[in-house]
Amino acid sequence: MLAITNVYMGLKTGFWESGCLMSALLAFGGLSLLSRRGAPPSPLETNLAQTTAVSVGATPASAGLIGAVPALALLGTQPPSWAVAAWGVGLGALGVLFAYLSRRRLLEEEALPFPTGVATSQLISTLHSTGSAYAARARGLWLSGVVSAALTWLRDARGVIPGASLLPASVRLGGVGADRLMLGVGWMPMLLGIGVLVGPQAGLSLLLGSALAWGVVAPWLVHTGKAAAEYGELSSWLLWPGLGLMVGASATSLLSQLRALPAMVGDLRALGARREGWESTVGRGVGRVVLPAILLCLLLGTWAFGLSPLLLLLALGVAFPLCAVCARATGQSDIAPISHVGQLTQVGFGMVAPGQQGLNIAAGAVVSGAASHTSASLWSLQAGRLLGASASRQFLAQLSGLLWGAAVAVPTYFVLVSVYGLESNVLPVPTARQFKAVAQLTAQGLAGLPPASALAMVGAFVVGGLLSVAGSRERWARVLPSAAAMGIGLFVPAYYAVTICLGALVAYAVGRLRPAALQPVQAVGTGAILGETLLGVLIAALIASGLMAPPG
């Protein structure tokens, strides 16, 4: 479910969820159901199932199904499905291996918190200590999942419910009808669920970015004649300041990590340190089986993606230190700067191999793919450490999860794209557009951009950097908007941002009025995401196979 959810959600909104807490809840429920006639599951069994599920769920990110693969498709290059699967398994295994080998230094010697891992271990302990906590969350999850699935069926299969309720054309901003600006509210339970999970700061930041883009800048563009009053043309212009915001925040965030450079060098040196006991045993297995398998997968993927072996080695050389950046940032702040390191790699490769957009995207995919699994794996390893789990068993569970994830996520992606297409209202693919934009920028320079968008991008870059610097200070962190979320607000339709923000505000209000109800509400948000995702993918599969006609 996590793999399908992340493909569907990522192509729609650019967000994907590690699923640590969600998978712990679902693993406990599933294992409890299977063991009704025998012994109940132990916390370690739940943790092992949760670890596998998180690895499955992160595979869409490591395979590039959310960003790099659709970006290449937008440029006219579509790698075959088997190559995408091999690529995802290879990069994911590389990230899992890095997390496993850096576990002792980051989790034990330096004791970095990895808050999501701590929360996961606490949730598993709570679920096994009393049934009431699980019952409340499970009811909310399954009820919201059923309602979400029903609404999705009525919308996508029967056409009874519209995708969004837009403001009428009679409402005009700067002479542009509100319907052309996509201003309204979406009938998408998944977006409400995303809002519940991301929280009010991200939700309001998303809305702020969207309001500035579609309520202020877009009407100004039409009024001054810099763009026509068409959603596609306006969206193409707004892409660039959105990219500036995100890259500015990324660059500043990564520069702030330079203070931890000596520790990162220590992380890399620790990878080659002598190990004893189970670490030594697993290490021999890694040398004999895992590393050759990773190399084979990457070579197959490299051939399909058009990346030369030399550039692959260069990308892998960059990947290890940037995985260390992601691992340390995740441990300290619980935020994984995956898109940041991917963008940085694209810019760097744009200098090394200018004019080659496909290679630029593939290089960014190497780093962001490995980094995504590094961060997700360390959250699971932290939860397992606190529960007393065997790290070697978790390592093997994570590797097996990669295979399951590739087997599920890759077909899901190709079914969705074949039915709905890329850059459609159903699949706006904001992350892919971001990958493509960086590649175009490094290939064409500022001269190839729409009128006045270069200046807007530079200004947004400065704003993104300033927000990142100010947001690193604790007193401002909860007040200032997130530059990354604001940037996404410029990539997605306005009604997406409104709906996500609505979900975030409802969850925040419930948490303020009844703090004890916040966790059940988060389970409701999770159910809303699962319900729409699973049924949405099922409907797409039925349409693709000819068993169902598209509505309307």
Which single residue is written with the structure tokens 């969350």?
Answer: 137
Rounded distance, CA 44 to CA 23, Å?
14
Q: Which helix (H) or strand (E) holds 403?
A: helix 391-420
Contacts of 360 by beta carbon, 8 Å cutoff, 6+ apart: 346, 349, 350, 353, 438, 439, 442, 443
Tokens representing 453 are 């968008």
Q: What is the per-residue pLDDT for 443? A: 77
Q: What is the per-residue pLDDT for 449? A: 75
Tokens representing 393 are 């068993």
Which single residue is written with the structure tokens 């660059």?
Answer: 251
Q: What is the DSSP string of 475-533?
A: HHHTTSPPHHHHHHHTTS-HHHHHHHHHHHHHHHHHHHH-GGGHHHHHHHHHHHHHHHH
Q: What is the per-residue pLDDT for 309? A: 77
Question: Which has the higher per-residue pLDDT, 343 or 385?
Answer: 385
Q: What is the per-residue pLDDT for 7? A: 93
**Helix 391-420 to helix 357-387 angle, to the nearest 10 degrees?**
140
Model confidence at 18, pLDDT cuts 50, 70, 90, reads confident
Which single residue is written with the structure tokens 């500035």?
Answer: 212
- Is residue 143 helix, strand or coil? helix
Q: What is the per-residue pLDDT for 139? A: 80
The answer to whether 343 and 246 have CB atoms below 8 angstroms apart is: yes
212-216, 353-357, 412-416, 445-449: which range is least confident on average? 445-449
> Taking 80 as the threshold, does the pLDDT of residue 81 lie above it?
yes
Rounded distance, CA 140 to CA 137, Å?
5
Rounded distance, CA 293 to CA 399, Å?
11
79-83, 336-340, 436-440, 504-508: which range is least confident on average? 336-340
Angle at 504 between CA 499 and CA 506, to 5 degrees: 95
CA atoms within 13 A on the CB side of 294: 21
Can you point out the beta strands (E) in 154-263? 164-166, 172-173, 176-177, 184-186
Task: Give me the mean pLDDT over the 10-30 stretch.
Answer: 82
Domain locations in the chain?
Answer: 2-273+287-544
Query: Would you tell me how many other CB atoms lie within 10 Å of the CB of residue 233?
Result: 16
Q: Where are the alpha helices (DSSP H) in 230-277?
A: 231-256, 261-270
Residues above pLDDT 90, as percent of the chain: 19
Q: Which helix (H) or strand (E) holds 347?
A: helix 338-352
Which single residue is written with the structure tokens 């096994």?
Answer: 128
Q: What is the per-residue pLDDT for 442? A: 77
Could you tell me the pTM of the whole model? 0.77
pLDDT tens track for 161-198 = 998 899 988 888 877 888 888 899 999 898 998 888 78
Which single residue is written with the structure tokens 């192509």?
Answer: 11
